[in-house]
Amino acid sequence: MELRFLLEQLRDTLREAYVKFLFWNVGGRTVDKEIIALVADERPDFLVLAEYKTSTIDLLRSMVAAGIHFYLIPSIACDRITIYSNIVPNHIHHRREASRFTIKEIRSTGTKPILLCLVHLLSKLHASDDDQLYGAISLKNAIEKAETEAGHKNTIVFGDFNMNPFDKGMLFAAALNAISCLRTAERESRMVQGQVQNLFYNPTWNLLGDFIEGPGTYFHKSPSSLSLYWNMLDQVIMRPELARGLDRDSLKIIRAAGGTSFITDEGLPSVSDHLPIVFSIDIPC
Amino acid sequence: MKNLWPQKFEENSRISAKAFLEEQAKLLPTLTDGMVYADVYQSRDPGRLAMRNDFMFHFDIRGRFLEDYRFHLLEFSHDITLYPVKFQIDDQIAKELKLANEFGDSEIKVVETPEELEAFVSAVLRSKRLGNVIGSIIRLSH
């Protein structure tokens, strides 16, 4: 019993070196109470919301009142995404941005700088596969330019990609080139038709299927002959070097917080049409 | 041998979209006390606009005191004859100018003449969305 307690304490201590990220597309609904419960349960270092349309300042005030000492990271042009963090805004530098993504660089003392690219890409409901592929190519180009400007590739991309891990925009070499196997991604790049294409590792593949918990973050029933029902639209991908620091057990879909269930009795998302995801990563020194 | 060439060649006197946008870019710092500026640069990205056009450029908005920040306002491309020019603009501006539907999935505009170019660029630069972006950059620069 004592050994187990000590192990858990050690695990908690080790986790403190990790940076924890939480993403939720709240679907334009007023869910401040649920957000606060989620943050209180998960204690992330970064809370990233998509389609948050309520007052960002009111939410900040409510979080501070609940003992959650976050800062609101100012938005410039990407108002689809709202970012709160417990990291002082002085350490967060604004980089490339368009209406569907924003790239920030975190430069804290004691750890490597990291590029955070937060996305809310074109919806499958209103864009063709080709449009999504084009959007992914544009995003990849912006990320690579930001990496060149920053002088490093410590990059994490997460949010609502509006694509599944197996969609063209996620996998094509000229697009995000995000593959399911870290050992393969550790090659860091592949040569395609004479061009070097950098690889991302996509651990979100591990959340597909229903062996562990639920099979996705978004449910959509289509009358067409091909219907996936569950989709894993909310994902995280990262460069292989950072991926070595990913706490595998930490990557999960959240289905309840503060005693409130985020799903119906049938297991479908209820509070928002998306479920939140969370993950932790050890940022190397 | 018979000379099959014409007697002489006239230089194309129509202003290029790049030159036109560079002129507009130069005006931005004077309107923002030097805090905001624009960057026009050529790209070799194999983007959708460049597929049939030889020259492709980007137009980004930047903040003098936000050294690493770039807002990607638009990209444009044309072939060697300078016109037509194909633009792809920020999807929210496309929506505001009613170029795109509410989901922003047709944010492409083709202009055929310098007059159309001026009218289109004027609409983009005067859009409410761009005003908000520039206003936010100024706010964060203090």
A206-262 tens-digit pLDDT: 999 888 777 899 999 887 888 889 999 999 999 999 999 999 999 999 999 999 999
Of A77, A100, A134, the CB nearest to B71: A77
CB contact under 8 A, A142 and B72: yes
Q: What is the pLDDT of residue B101?
A: 54
- A104 to chain B, any CB pair closer than 8 A? The answer is no
Looking at every residue in chain B, the average pLDDT score rounds to 88
Non-local (6+) Cβ contacts of A82 within 8 A are: A48, A49, A50, A52, A56, A72, A75
pLDDT: which is higher, B118 or B104 = B118
CB atoms under 10 Å from CB of A238, counted, come to 27
Q: Read off the pLDDT of residues A169-196 as tens digits, 9 standing for 90 and up.
A: 999 999 999 999 999 999 999 999 888 9
Residue linked to tokens 């569950």:
A230
Mean pLDDT of A275-279: 98
Share of chain A above pLDDT 90, in %: 76
Mean pLDDT of B7-27: 93
List the structure tokens of A264.
């119906």
Residue linked to tokens 């597909």:
A208
Whether residue A68 is predicted with pLDDT greater than 70 in this model: the reply is yes
CA distance A228 to A105: 36
List the structure tokens of A240.
């292989």
B63 neighbors B69 (Cβ within 8 angstroms): yes
- A99 to chain B, any CB pair closer than 8 A? The answer is yes
| CA distance to partner chain B, nearest, from residue A174 (Å) | 9
A274 neighbors A218 (Cβ within 8 angstroms): yes
Amino acid (one-letter) located at A166: F
Confidence of residue A4 (pLDDT cuts 50, 70, 90): low
Q: What DSSP string describes A36-53?
A: HHHHHHH--SEEEEES--
- Nearest chain A residue to B73 by CA: give it: A98
A251 neighbors A278 (Cβ within 8 angstroms): yes
Whether residue B103 is predicted with pLDDT greater than 70 in this model: the reply is no
CA distance B40 to B135: 20
CB atoms under 10 Å from CB of B5, counted, come to 6
Amino acid (one-letter) located at B104: G
Cα A37 to its chain centre, rounded Å, is 19
Domain ranges of chain A: 2-282
The reported pTM is 0.86
Whether residue A16 is predicted with pLDDT greater than 70 in this model: the reply is no
β-bridge pairing A252-253 and B55-63: unpaired
Amino acid (one-letter) located at A180: S
pLDDT: which is higher, B108 or B126 = B126
- Gyration radius of chain B's alpha carbons: 17
CB contact under 8 A, B136 and A96: no
Whether residue B88 is predicted with pLDDT greater than 70 in this model: the reply is yes
Q: What is the pLDDT of residue A182?
A: 96
Query: For chain A, how many residues are written?
Result: 285
Q: Read off the pLDDT of residues B44-82 as tens digits, 9 standing for 90 and up.
A: 765 555 555 689 999 999 998 988 899 999 999 999 999
Q: Which of residues 205-244 of A touch B (CB under 8 A)?
A: none
Q: Read off the pLDDT of residues A132-162 as tens digits, 9 standing for 90 and up.
A: 998 999 899 999 999 999 999 999 999 999 9
Q: Is the ipTM of this complex over 0.95?
A: no
Least confident of A43-57, A74-88, A172-186: A74-88
pLDDT: which is higher, B108 or A35 = A35
* Strand ranges for B13-65 from DSSP E: 36-42, 55-63
- B92 to chain A, any CB pair closer than 8 A? The answer is yes
Whether residue A58 is predicted with pLDDT greater than 60 in this model: the reply is yes
Fold of A2-282: Deoxyribonuclease I; Chain A (3.60.10)
CA distance A213 to A197: 34
